[in-house]
């Protein structure tokens, strides 16, 4: 893949927009974590701790760390029906729409609330237990999103769900996903063209492949650059949509996610969210302040040391020029004063 990335990079325009090296590097990191089962055990434990606060009917098997190593992962036994067994799921007597609602709710809480999510939720990794709860397995591929990316994505999705395409376009420009020189109005129109097939329609009427094709076309026309940090999230949303299509082809998972996205977005962008943001920024400044003071002290100390800051002779001459001018002015004043005194004498 790196070899292919180098070939693509020979086209400077495509390489700048597609970022092939960064994309492959993201995949490489994912494979690295997947091949060491200690990392997988740590991911399962972290996810289990996070979803305790979700209350969505999703659980993670407990890891037995005493029996876990780089090549061996030991977890609780999962007794349930794999979501790949569609017939058994339908004959289980459980409400399929409720199952999908749990899956969608949990996924979006993982992405937006925690910024840490299961990035491979295909049917073989999801089980339905006798209580109607979902159980996740296989934590080799996990995704992370920083708070800034989560806020941008939540705003974009909320804009799409509310059919506020101008807001969607504005967020793309604010996030830097679209170059500043492009037309906001034209991009707003493009967003509407992509979103209209989704809004208010059941999932079975949506061609995900066609939708992605339109998005890639828009990305090329507006010179949008690939965002490697969003790749796993995009893939996860696609896979989850596919699970929904298998279990109930007439259910729109975008609509299932609407209350979660809107609630989280309200918490982040409302008065309480602004206060939390101010507190976060304040903590960040307080954390960095001692390091800033140390850096300033180090720089000042270097000024007086023998091996301190090196300046070019021209720079030194320019720094000394105001002082020399000041000295010449005082010298001229002194000679003039002496001349006047001599004449008066």
pTM of the predicted protein model: 0.70
pLDDT, position 218: 78
**33-44 average pLDDT score:** 90
Inform me whether the pLDDT recorded for 57 exceeds 70. Answer: yes
Inform me whether the pLDDT recorded for 120 exceeds 80. Answer: yes
For the residues of 26-92, what is the DSSP string, one character each?
HHHHHHHHHH-HHHHHHHHHHHHHHHTTT-SSEE-PPB-GGG--SS---B----SEETT-HHHHHTT
- Mean pLDDT, all residues of the chain: 80
pLDDT, position 226: 73
pLDDT, position 126: 93
pLDDT tens-place string over residues 304-316: 555 555 555 656 5
**Coil, strand or helix at 147:** helix
The residues that are catalytic are: 120
Q: What backbone phi and psi angles, to 5 degrees, belong to 90? A: -70, -30
Pick from 7-21, 143-157, 177-191: least confident? 7-21
Looking at per-residue pLDDT, the higher value among 25 and 319 belongs to 25
Would you state the structure tokens that stand for residue 123, as one six-digit string?
A: 């049917």
**201-228 average pLDDT score:** 69
- What count of Cα atoms within 13 Å lies in the side-chain half-sphere of residue 188? 10
Inform me whether the pLDDT recorded for 74 exceeds 90. Answer: yes
Going by pLDDT thresholds of 50, 70 and 90, the confidence category of residue 222 is: confident
pLDDT, position 285: 62
pLDDT, position 71: 93
Select the highest-mean-pLDDT range: 3-17, 253-267, 295-309, 324-338.
Answer: 3-17
Q: pLDDT > 90: what percent of the chain?
A: 23
**103-125 average pLDDT score:** 90
Residue with tokens 């002290």: 297
pLDDT, position 208: 60
Inform me whether the pLDDT recorded for 210 exceeds 90. Answer: no
pLDDT, position 249: 81
In the chain the first and final C-alpha atoms are separated, in Å, by 94
**Coil, strand or helix at 228:** helix
pLDDT, position 194: 84
pLDDT tens-place string over residues 268-295: 766 555 565 555 556 556 666 566 666 6
Question: Is the torsion defined by CA of 208, 211, 215, 216 positive or negative?
Answer: positive
- Give Cβ neighbours of residue 184 (< 8 Å, ≥ 6 apart): 166, 169, 170, 173
Question: Is the torsion defined by CA of 7, 9, 12, 17 positive or negative?
Answer: positive
Going by pLDDT thresholds of 50, 70 and 90, the confidence category of residue 202 is: low
Inform me whether the pLDDT recorded for 49 exceeds 80. Answer: yes
CB-count burial class (<10 Å; 0-12, 13-18, 19+) for 330: exposed
The residue among 115, 96, 28 whose CA lies nearest residue 256 is: 96
Going by pLDDT thresholds of 50, 70 and 90, the confidence category of residue 42 is: very high
Q: What backbone phi and psi angles, to 5 degrees, belong to 127? A: -125, 145
pLDDT, position 35: 85
The residue among 261, 264, 263, 246 whose CA lies nearest residue 100 is: 246
């Amino acid at each position: 893949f790196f070899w292919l990335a180098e070939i693509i990079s020979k086209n400077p325009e495509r390489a700048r927009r597609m970022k092939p090296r960064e994309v492959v590097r993201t995949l490489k990191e994912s494979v690295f974590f997947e091949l060491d089962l200690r990392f997988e055990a740590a991911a399962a434990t972290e996810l289990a701790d996070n979803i305790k606060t979700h209350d969505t009917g999703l659980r993670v098997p407990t890891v037995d760390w005493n029996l876990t190593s780089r090549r061996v992962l030991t977890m609780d036994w999962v007794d349930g029906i794999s979501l790949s067994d569609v017939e058994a799921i339908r004959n289980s007597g459980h409400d399929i729409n409720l199952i999908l609602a749990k899956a969608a709710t949990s996924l979006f809480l993982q992405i937006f609330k925690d910024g840490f999510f299961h990035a491979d939720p295909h049917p073989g990794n999801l089980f339905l237990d006798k209580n109607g709860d979902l159980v996740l397995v296989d934590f080799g591929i996990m995704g992370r999103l920083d708070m800034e990316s989560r806020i941008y994505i939540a705003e974009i999705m909320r804009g799409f769900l509310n059919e506020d395409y101008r807001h969607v376009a504005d967020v793309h420009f604010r996030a830097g996903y679209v170059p500043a020189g492009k037309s906001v109005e034209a991009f707003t129109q493009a967003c509407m063209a992509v979103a209209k097939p989704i809004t208010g329609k059941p999932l079975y009427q949506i061609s995900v492949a066609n939708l992605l094709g339109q998005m890639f076309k828009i990305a090329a026309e507006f010179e949008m650059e690939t965002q490697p940090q969003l790749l796993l999230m995009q893939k996860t949303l696609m896979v989850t949509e596919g699970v929904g299509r298998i279990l109930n082809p007439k259910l729109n998972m975008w609509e299932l996610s609407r209350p979660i996205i809107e609630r989280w977005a309200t918490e982040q962008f409302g008065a309480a969210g602004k206060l939390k943001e101010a507190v976060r920024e304040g903590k960040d400044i307080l954390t960095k302040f001692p390091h800033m003071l140390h850096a300033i002290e180090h720089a000042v100390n270097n000024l007086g040391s023998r091996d301190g800051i090196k300046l070019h002779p021209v720079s030194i001459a320019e720094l000394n020029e105001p002082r020399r001018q000041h000295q010449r002015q005082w010298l001229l004043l002194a000679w003039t004063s002496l001349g006047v005194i001599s004449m008066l004498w």
